[in-house]
A and B are shown apart, each in its own frame.
Chain A
Amino acid sequence: MLQVNKDSSRWVYRWAMLVTLLTFPLIWLGGLVTTHDAGMAVPDWPGTFGYNLFLYPWSAWLYGPFDLFVEHGHRLLASLVGLLAICLCVVAYRNEKRIWVRNLCFGFLAAIISQGVLGGVRVLLDARTAAMIHGCTGPLVFALGSFIVMACSTDWRRATQNAYAKPVSRGLQIISYLLVPMSIVQLFVGAHLRHAQPTWLPPFFTSIVHTHLLMATLITLSIFGILVLVRADHNRRVLELRPPANLLLLIVVAQVALGLATWIANYATPWVELTPWLAKYTVQGKGFWESMIVTGHQATGSLLIVFSLWMVCRVATRTNQAENAQPMINDTSVQQENSTELVAVGGGIV
């Protein structure tokens, strides 16, 4: 029962993992494009200054203006991700027996292409709203790729083939399910702050900031709730719940710190008289570390969605109640088997 099903495709898993791992730096680069307002650094699309995207002279790219470097790099990496996603679809079509997973792979490719088209719309119309939507949907595409990885993982197959005499508690299910939409909403709200339109009035922006802070509080509390619940009596023997919960804690701590740092990097702090350091701190316009902090906050937001989705997968695959109260799998042995299987399929977060 615990062995990996023969219809599973390790190759689908590996390709999905490769494409998804490359999507994360793509999000970083996209974030840098926003941070440096480089969306229009290349005024044409799909070409680059009249060249075919892939034939643009590398010396002009590498030694040209920084915003051009970032924007063209973003396009090149996106193209690579798109090409690899095509390979993923082929591999999935040939090897994956589950139709819905195949469809997910095709949906993933469609989403990547749509992202590219949306990026093109942003350039061709010089539309900042399109940039904002592009920024919002990027992490969702990343999450979709991550979901394929999770669905092809050993843990998924094993967990869905088992029946649990004592499934994951209802409270943990509810919080985990809520965390995903909350993270997505938070990402959308954050994208509004990143892509604030020059015509927005201050009260509107202020309300978005307050919403962002409120959502941050709710998400932090939810993650603390998950941390408590995975260790509660009812769930504590399901050890597979702990890695995503622990990583969520790590992510949320980093994200809160990055959020504060982002505000200070952009607008300094209102409490300047607390210390001489704060009083003397001068925001550096387009400074390197400032850019990294702001972009890092955005990129980590996408990780929050992915890890909350991972948590949901772990919870959801352990909620099928055994009708005849079959004996619950010995958790220790599951853990040992898991470790072996993960190594066997090449490791990975799931």
Chain B
Amino acid sequence: MFFDFHHRYNRFLQANLWLFPIALGIVVCGCSSEKIEFRGNQLHAASLSMELTPLEIRRLADRAKDATELLLGTADLPTWPATVLPPLDMEKVVRSSGPVGRDKSKVESGLFRKHCVQCHGISGDGRGPAAALLAPYPRDFRRGSFKFKSTPLGKKPTHSDIVRTLEKGLPGTAMPAFGTLNDSEEFANDVDALAHYVRFLAIRGEVERRLLVALSEQEIDESASLEILTRVANDWLAAESHSVKRPEWVANQTEYGRLESVANGKALFESELTACVKCHGAAGSGNGTSQDFDDWTKDWTIRAGIDPANKTEWKSMKKYGALKPIIDRPRNLKLGALRGGTSREDIYLRLVLGIEGSPMLAVAKKENGNPGLTDDDIRDLVEYVYSLSEGARNNSSKQEFDHAASE
């Protein structure tokens, strides 16, 4: 077949060379039309009322998006109104936004699109291109809720909480650890800048949600929009003041606790008072009987009158960006991989603060005559959970520790 190849090849060249500039032209025209902007929150608009038509839902979402854009700018150029005290460093926010690249002064910008957009999406809605294939789904920032933080349920996370998650990542999930960026001089400020942008997206998303609710009832003017932004921003400004104090003993990373402490912790773990076994199972393997969804799923299912377990029902929300509801499975504590961290401090925070948006609640404290755990009980419970994790198993007293835990 190759004997006459050169004839065919020459014919092909003569016949098709003119295609090349046309193809290049198509590429140039096609590429120059790329426009990246925030997406409207259609899913929340749809969950507000089941009576709205798809067209009305899209219009409502677009109106809220436009109103938010007037306040906080675009995906390429975020802004902040001068009349509202910002809980963020807007210079870092602007640096993290927009397309990836360096300007003439070699300062890199577009950090969010470089590191995060593939999963979290351009609006921080947790609907990036890869989102549907991940378990758990990437976090939707727009509710302003974050799981692993040092503030009580319902309060915003501190800046350091977000930085911590960015630096350490979440083991067993697609959330990477960006801590190594700090090792390099050129990227040393990237994590901090990203944390500011993540908080910006959370504020933007929450403002948009509130505007959606307001716009679904009546038209609102700019001052009302500013009022909404101020309230959200104040919540974030107050975050640091809500950060809980950690007892001194949580800083102990190497020595295991008192053996009797572990035994008491085990008893508490299995007690009705804490109800840990209901979700985590008697052995802490995450095989309890509870089957629940997280708040991000309940937001557009149960609260909108949709059964997340009913495929026909939840599928009606797919066109607005909903992903298949998945059960928020309790953690297997014995794998040595707790997503919020395996240190005593991390475990303490999860126990006394719960995990925002998940079925994991804070333990009840014994206060004002109400039944609950004392400070010593909490320490014992932390010791027991810590004993199940890899950190404790690595220390020299492993056998003693395991023995105490098994009794």
Give me the interface of A with B, judged by CB distance under 8 Å.
Answer: 37, 39-43, 49-50, 64-68, 98-101, 103-104, 107, 114, 117-118, 121-122, 125-130, 133, 160, 196-206, 209, 266-268, 270, 272-273, 276, 278-287, 316-317, 319-320
Q: B3 contacts the other chain (Cβ, under 8 Å)?
A: yes
Query: Can you list 15 A-B contacts with CB-CB less than 8 angstroms, sorted by A residue number?
Result: A65-B108, A99-B6, A100-B6, A103-B9, A125-B28, A127-B32, A198-B113, A198-B129, A200-B129, A272-B337, A273-B332, A278-B172, A279-B337, A282-B169, A286-B115
Q: B347 contacts the other chain (Cβ, under 8 Å)?
A: no
Contact of A268 among B36, B114, B173, B390 (CB under 8 A): B173
CB pair B32 A284 closer than 8 Å: no
Contact of B390 among A266, A272, A280 (CB under 8 A): A280
4 smallest CB-CB distances across A and B, nearest first, come from A100-B6, A40-B101, A127-B31, A285-B176
Closest residue to A65 on the B side, CB-wise? B186
How far is the CB of B287 from the nearest CB of chain A, in Å? 10
How far is the CB of B323 from the nearest CB of chain A, in Å? 7
Which B residues touch A43, using CB under 8 A?
101-104
Closest residue to A98 on the B side, CB-wise? B6
Contact of A272 among B27, B104, B172, B178 (CB under 8 A): B172
CB pair B24 A114 closer than 8 Å: yes
Contact of A49 among B28, B100, B104, B170 (CB under 8 A): B104
- The count of residues in chain B whose C-beta lies closer than 8 Å to any C-beta of chain A is 67
Q: B144 contacts the other chain (Cβ, under 8 Å)?
A: no
Contact of B177 among A49, A68, A285 (CB under 8 A): A285
Q: B127 contacts the other chain (Cβ, under 8 Å)?
A: yes
Which B residues touch A273, using CB under 8 A?
286, 332, 335
Closest residue to A206 on the B side, CB-wise? B132
- A122-B34 Cα distance, complex, nearest whole Å: 12
CB pair A198 B171 closer than 8 Å: no
Scoring B residues 326 to 338 as 1 if CB is less than 8 Å from chain A, else 0, what string do you get? 0000001001110
Which A residues touch B100, using CB under 8 A?
37, 39-40
Which B residues touch A316, using CB under 8 A?
1-2
- A197-B129 Cα distance, complex, nearest whole Å: 8
Which B residues touch A101, using CB under 8 A?
6
Give me the interface of B with A, judged by CB distance under 8 Å.
Answer: 1-3, 5-7, 9-10, 13, 20, 24, 27-28, 30-32, 34, 36, 99-104, 106, 108, 110, 113-115, 117-119, 121-122, 127-135, 168-178, 180-181, 184, 186, 286, 321, 323, 332, 335-337, 390
- A201-B129 Cα distance, complex, nearest whole Å: 5
The total of interchain contacts (Cβ-Cβ below 8 angstroms) comes to: 185
Given A126-B101, A285-B176; A199-B9 close (CB under 8 Å): no
Given A100-B5, A267-B174, A285-B176; A279-B336 close (CB under 8 Å): yes
- A98-B321 Cα distance, complex, nearest whole Å: 58
How far is the CB of A170 from the nearest CB of chain B, in Å? 13
Contact of A281 among B24, B110, B128, B172 (CB under 8 A): B172
Given A279-B337, A283-B177; A121-B34 close (CB under 8 Å): no
CB pair A67 B24 closer than 8 Å: no
- A125-B1 Cα distance, complex, nearest whole Å: 43
Which B residues touch A50, using CB under 8 A?
104
Looking at B28, B117, B168, B177, the one whose CB has the most chain A CB atoms below 10 A away is: B28
CB pair B31 A283 closer than 8 Å: no
- A39-B397 Cα distance, complex, nearest whole Å: 52
* With A43-B101, A273-B332, A317-B2 already in contact, 7 other A-B pairs whose C-beta atoms are closer than 8 Å: A98-B6, A128-B34, A196-B129, A270-B134, A272-B335, A273-B335, A320-B1
How far is the CB of B248 from the nearest CB of chain A, in Å? 28
Contact of A202 among B2, B36, B106, B132 (CB under 8 A): B132
